[in-house]
Structure 1
Amino acid sequence: MGKERQVTVDDFLDREFKQWEKAHVKMKDAPPPDGHDYLKHANNLLALLEAVGVPDINPSAKLVMTSFKAAVAFEQDRRENDARVTAVFLAQTDVMRVLLDVDGLSNKRRNRSNTEMLRSEATLNDILLAVQKEIKACGNSIDTYYKESRFG
């Protein structure tokens, strides 16, 4: 019974490898435009290599697997962080959109007979300078993040 099970596992792994190889050839012939499928493809290969026992072949194979696994994990983290950086730009865009509202208020004020100003202790210039400072600080943080060497 154990040998039958082993044959079944080997057959399963063989089928999985053939499917992976077919996808690999297709990907090389017609690369996906955004590259997102590459990471999934690499993770699928890692699962196959571990299932077959490649890391147990010898210490060098284990080192190669560990390095490849680290590179894949690094890329996953980078993509997650890229999504967070994009969200920061979306938030900054919301802040900048407020300038359209300010322009609309200014136009309404010009068209009113009562030209009393909106009251605030901070001037528009003070607010805009504070926004500029925050955007620069955020941009510098993003720049620093992208320049860090995280894979030695």
Structure 2
Amino acid sequence: MKTRLLTALLSFTLLAVKAQKSTEMDTSQQDTAAIRQALEDYYLNGLYVGDINTLRKILYPGTLLFGDIKGQPYAKTLEQYLDGVAHRQSPKDSGKPFKGTVLSVEVINTIAVAKVNIKMYDFNYYDLLSLHKIDNRWVIVNKMLTDIVE
């Protein structure tokens, strides 16, 4: 009797753990897909057309940006960054090639990190974006960037 009870308890526990892991994997895959879609729709599209209202849909207020461009330190507040985007010629209007690629996304609970490559103007940017799920929506809360000379 004890053996049957222990076997039943162990089987139930294993099934519950397997179901939980399956649910977590499904959620993680859904979140990864949602992040990729948001990055393409709002971040990459906003950069391409130079639309700060589109960018604001994914950039959380207070987002900070750090990195280096052509070897020079880069640090801006969100408002400084958006002002720069608003006052430059968009990649779309420049006629120069633009390519944005989401290289990877890693999700843990309500936080995530995305690696994005953006080729625009004469730059080959790599962005490491920290995201957080706030009010059931993924937003960028920090941006680290650098450009690579090809």
- Structure 1-normalised TM-score? 0.35
- Between Structure 1 and Structure 2, the one with more strand by share is 2
- Structure 2-normalised TM-score? 0.36
- Between Structure 1 and Structure 2, the one with more helix by share is 1
Greater relative contact order, per chain length (Cα 8 Å cut-off, separation 6+) = 2
